[in-house]
Amino acid sequence: MNKVSVKAENGSYDILIENGLLSRLSDYMQAYSGRRALVVTDDNVAPLYLDTVLRQLSQVGVGVFYSVIPAGETSKSVETLTSLFPELTRAGVRRGDLIVALGGGVVGDLAGFLASIWLRGVDFIQIPTTLLSQVDSSVGGKTAVDIPEGKNLVGSFYQPKAVFIDTAVLRTLPLREISAGMAEIIKYGCIFDAQLFEYLEKIGSPDALTDNFERIIARSCEIKADYVLRDPYDRGERMELNLGHTLGHAVETVMGFGVLLHGEAVAIGISAAARWSERILSLSAEDAKRIDALLTAFGLDISLPECDKGALLSAMCLDKKAETGGIRFVLLERIGKARVVRLEPEEMLEAAYER
């Protein structure tokens, strides 16, 4: 088993990473004996893993209830959030009880935000079942829902009590989901760890990932944990984790939530950021090409879709990094070294369409 510890002023916890962990979940849940839990999952994950999780929790005396939401980004909404309030009431979840997120990033973000506001905060556990959620959204305590105007505009910082990652669940993921998760892993190499980037280049394709999942997931979580320790509320260095996200979120919003997976949109944003970095900072043309080549090698389309440019610009300006005088974009000095730079979004959007 790999264990990564997250330590932050707003909450500390462990991330446990192991093949087959779900079947041994009861070994780590003794502290919750006698409490009630609402497990939130979606209709893709429920047939695969819900029974196992309910059985494991029941074995240690947790009173279990569950709610299944429709799979997909459209469920990460205020409407779905409020539909879960009666479920919590039915389950009798009180302070001292918990909410368990069993699923990908949508379920994790939604259930985490729910936990942060129910009774002004109840305990929350993440069991991420997609590669992207295992390496990114389940770690760090950002929770949110989308509104029509943009992604993640309504949310809170709320750390889980634990994150349980079972790499065996990745065997049931379609290749598209694996590729989407790789976008976030490649991001970590770009902003912080050139050795991780080079290691991914050696792996070279999704076909060779199976034997490397635990290592790259653990390293990704270590990098994320380091940023969370230094900047738990995303006011400084942690913004570097948003490489590719300003444009990526705008593309998701304009195209309609669910058309692209989050990681697919981020890949488009990372590629654009590489070109911006070549123009504005010291990123070499060779490194920019390496970034595009690595994204493409793992099945990601890096071309910017034809979208209404005015709508894209409006969505970018609603980004959480927008402020008077521009938007704080994450660029690269080199592979492994990021810098946050305040730039005008109009100029960046025009440059994104140039190849």
Mean of the pLDDT values across residues 22-51?
A: 97
pLDDT of residue 63: 97
Distance, CA of 235 to CA of 149 (rounded, Å): 23
How many CB atoms sit inside 10 A of residue 64's CB? 17
In degrees and rounded to multiples of 5, residue 131 shows phi and psi of -60, -40
CA distance 16 to 5: 9
Average pLDDT over residues 8-22: 94
Could you say which architecture CATH assigns to the domain 2-172?
Answer: 3-Layer(aba) Sandwich (3.40)
Q: What is this structure's pTM?
A: 0.93
**pLDDT (tens digit per residue) in 285-317:** 999 999 999 999 999 999 999 888 899 989 888
Q: What is the pLDDT of residue 210?
A: 87
Distance CA 122, CA 89 (A): 13
For the segment 53-106, what is each residue's pLDDT rounded down to a tens digit?
999 999 999 999 999 999 999 999 999 999 999 999 999 999 999 999 999 999
Collapsed DSSP state (helix, strand, coil) of residue 38: strand
CA gap 79, 98 in Å, rounded: 21
Contact of 335 with 197, CB cutoff 8 Å: yes
pLDDT at 321: 65
**Token output for 2:** 């790999």
Kindly report the average pLDDT of the chain as a whole number. 94
Percent of the chain with pLDDT over 90: 85
Whole-number pLDDT of residue 306: 86
DSSP letter for 304, please: P
Distances, alpha carbon 162 to alpha carbons 11, 145, 251, 276, 322, in Å: 10, 21, 32, 37, 32
Query: For residue 164, which phi and psi values (nearest 5 degrees)?
Result: -115, 115
Class of domain 175-352: mainly alpha
135: DSSP letter: I
Contact predicate 173/49, CB 8 Å: no
User: Tokens 């990473």 map to which residue?
Assistant: 17
pLDDT for the residue 318: 82
Question: For residue 348, what pLDDT is reported?
Answer: 82
Those residues whose C-beta lies under 8 Å from the C-beta of residue 304, and which sit 6 or more positions away, are 247, 251, 268, 272, 352, 353
Domain boundary assignment for the chain: 2-172, 175-352
CA distance 308 to 302: 18
Q: How confident is the model at residue 324 (pLDDT cuts 50, 70, 90)?
A: low
Tokens of 223: 């990098």
Q: Are 17 and 3 in contact (CB under 8 A)?
A: yes
Say what the pLDDT of residue 87 is: 97
Question: Among 327, 320, 183, 331, which residue's Cα sits nearest to residue 253?
Answer: 320
Determine the average pLDDT of the residues in 276-290: 95
pLDDT at 323: 64
